[in-house]
């Protein structure tokens, strides 16, 4: 991906590291729970501290489940050359499961448990913002 002029669907979801895209979440100083996306507070009822710091998640996770979105979602969702796409639920470790679009994988290659990594991909083009990107999950070695 070019990366240079790419704006993101929403600020604060990812951080670009030297090794690629990381999801940006929060870790609680009190109970050590890891969250995505960044949280306003810690919802663990047993936690007294509830002070969060930003923390990036590992790049890789495993596919926990998935579906194929066959119908075009409402207009808030914009996509270049709309066609059905895979939506996955990816286990990122420490109990954190994240939903996102999958990239670079054919339907017949999908397998629960497969390794995936976070990537940034252009999602749509906006007259003012140019290419707008989202995070996706791709098989390791793709994207």
| Nearest-angstrom CA–CA distance, 25 and 33 | 11
From the list 1, 34, 131, 142, which residue makes contact with other proteins (rule: CB under 8 A)?
Answer: 34
Give the one entry of other proteins, Zn ion, none that residue 11 binds, where binding means its C-beta sits below a cut-off of 5 to 8 angstroms depending on kind: other proteins
- With contacts defined by CB under 5 A, name the span among 16-24, 30-38, 71-79, 97-105 that binds Zn ion: 30-38
In the complex, the smallest distance separating the C-beta of residue 115 from other proteins, rounded to whole angstroms, is 16
What x-and-dash track marks residues 37-66 binding other proteins by CB under 8 A?
xx-x--xxx------------------xxx
Please name which of 131, 136, 103, 119 lies closest in space to residue 5, comparing C-alpha atoms.
131
SS3 assignment, position 17: strand
Instruction: Decide: is 42 part of the binding site for Zn ion (CB under 5 A).
Output: yes
What x-and-dash track marks residues 78-97 binding other proteins by CB under 8 A?
xx-----x-x-x----xxxx
**Contact at 8 Å (CB) between 39 and 52?**
yes
Instruction: Decide: is 101 part of the binding site for Zn ion (CB under 5 A).
Output: no
Instruction: Decide: is 1 part of the binding site for other proteins (CB under 8 A).
Output: no
What pairs with residue 88 in β-bridges? Answer: 66, 100
Beta strands 7-8 and 130-139: pairing type? parallel
Beta strands 130-139 and 20-28: pairing type? unpaired
SS3 assignment, position 74: coil
End-to-end CA distance of the chain: 7
Catalog residues that contact other proteins under the rule CB under 8 A. Answer: 9-13, 33-38, 40, 43-45, 64-74, 76-79, 85, 87, 89, 94-101, 112, 134-135
């Amino acid at each position: 991906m070019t990366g240079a002029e790419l704006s993101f669907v929403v600020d604060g979801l990812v951080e670009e590291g030297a090794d690629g895209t990381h999801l940006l979440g929060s870790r609680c100083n009190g109970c050590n729970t890891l969250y995505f996306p960044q949280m306003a507070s810690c919802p663990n009822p047993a936690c007294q501290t509830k002070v969060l710091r930003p923390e990036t998640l590992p790049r890789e996770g495993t596919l926990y489940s998935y579906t194929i979105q066959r119908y075009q979602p409402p207009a808030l969702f914009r996509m270049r050359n709309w066609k059905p796409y895979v939506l996955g639920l990816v286990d990122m470790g420490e109990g954190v499961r994240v939903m996102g679009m999958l990239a670079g994988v054919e339907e017949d290659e999908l397998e629960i448990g497969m390794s995936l990594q976070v990537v940034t991909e252009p999602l749509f083009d906006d007259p003012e913002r140019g290419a707008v990107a989202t995070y996706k999950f791709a098989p390791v070695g793709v994207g």
